[in-house]
Amino acid sequence: MQFTAKKIAELINGTIEGDPEVAVSSFGKLEEATEGQLAFLANPKYEEFLYSTKASVIIINSSLEVEKKLSATLIRVPDAYSSFAVILTAYSEIAKANLTGIQEPSYISSSATLGENVFVGAFAYLGKNVTIGKGVKIYPQVFLGDNVTIGDNSILYPGVKIHHDCEIGKNVSIHAGCVIGGDGFGYAPQKDGSFKKVPQIGNVVIEDNVEIGANTTIDRSTIGSTIIKSGAKLDNLIQIAHNVEVGMNTVIAAQSGVSGSTKIGKNVMIGGQAGIVGHIQIADGSKINAQSGVGKSIKKPNTAVTGSPAYDYSQALRSQIISRNLPELEKRIKNLEQLIEQLKKEKITD
């Protein structure tokens, strides 16, 4: 597929400097791009490559002052990074639009309902009463249990497993290897020291415009629903336990874990490898630093925490400064002790 600079500028409301009819057919990093490719510059660290790149079209920030004459056509926008994301999204949607039909072998229950322009890849399994919306893409080896619903234009990448009764909204992307709706970790201690499994009879509800990274697992609830709300973004290798709620537009980085029945508010940011205990609440707008261990509720909105156990981020920074200054503080204390001893001796002499 080819796109002219004029067409790209129209898509992102950019201003062209150079030839509006120059065409590109692929993308490249600014420092590696060749003729016929589109690149972008958002990070000032890469500005030097603006003058050596072979890219035909470059998206740059409106505020950038170009110091030398360039052969490439420039498209100026307020935010080059966001605009480039818009272009990539449009490109990928065009590519996916051509992917339709049902590949063989695959199993689709006679009671399943499929919308228009659906793609079902080879070795996929669609159970009883599964409902698939229009434009859904189901890649090979996906498993959909009985009564699963998938909203319009959602994408399930290879090897995704969605267990019975779970609900997936519109425009959801679930990447390879995810398991949605596996049993929650619920066991009742017995008098003899053994554990009796507590049946997990709830489901998982994933609302619209959610993206879930590869090999992430989201457990079904004991009763009710484990809920991932609209606009949330989950990275790879995350564990979401039973009855958890993840709020709107919350982002969680890789290898984090959220224990059962915890409620996370909207617009929360959780760094990689963070751990959150069960049955607590995380207030809207909270920021949890990477590798933090959150052991109690964060009740005040927009609070930032770090450490294990996690505590206020600004206090943690002050503690780190003090820790780094300990050798100097020790030296000063020793000098003071020597001075005190000297003053004592002088007093005795007097």
Q: What is the CATH number of domain 160-309?
A: 2.160.10.10
The pLDDT value recorded for residue 97 is 67
Rounded to an integer, the average pLDDT of 211-217 is 98
Known catalytic membership, residue 242: yes
Site of tokens 């920030």: 61
Contacts 24+ apart (CB under 8 A), 278-283: 278/241
The pLDDT value recorded for residue 343 is 85
Weakest mean pLDDT among 49-63, 121-135, 241-255, 305-319: 305-319
Q: Which amino acid is at 279?
A: H
Report the top-level CATH class of 3-97.
alpha beta
| Confidence band of 123 (pLDDT split at 50, 70, 90) | very high
Weakest mean pLDDT among 145-149, 269-273, 346-350: 346-350
| Confidence band of 326 (pLDDT split at 50, 70, 90) | confident
The pLDDT value recorded for residue 256 is 98
Mean pLDDT of the chain: 94
Q: How far apart are CA 282 and CA 75, in angstroms?
A: 42
CA-closest candidate to residue 203, choices 216, 189, 188, 219: 219
The pLDDT value recorded for residue 311 is 65
Weakest mean pLDDT among 30-39, 217-226, 257-266, 332-341: 332-341
Q: CA dihedral defined by 33, 34, 40, 45, rounded to 10 degrees? A: 40
Rounded to an integer, the average pLDDT of 187-197 is 96
Rounded to an integer, the average pLDDT of 168-175 is 98
**348, two tokens:** 């005795």
Catalytic residue among 163, 164, 175, 242: 242
Rounded to an integer, the average pLDDT of 324-343 is 86
- The DSSP letter of residue 56 is S
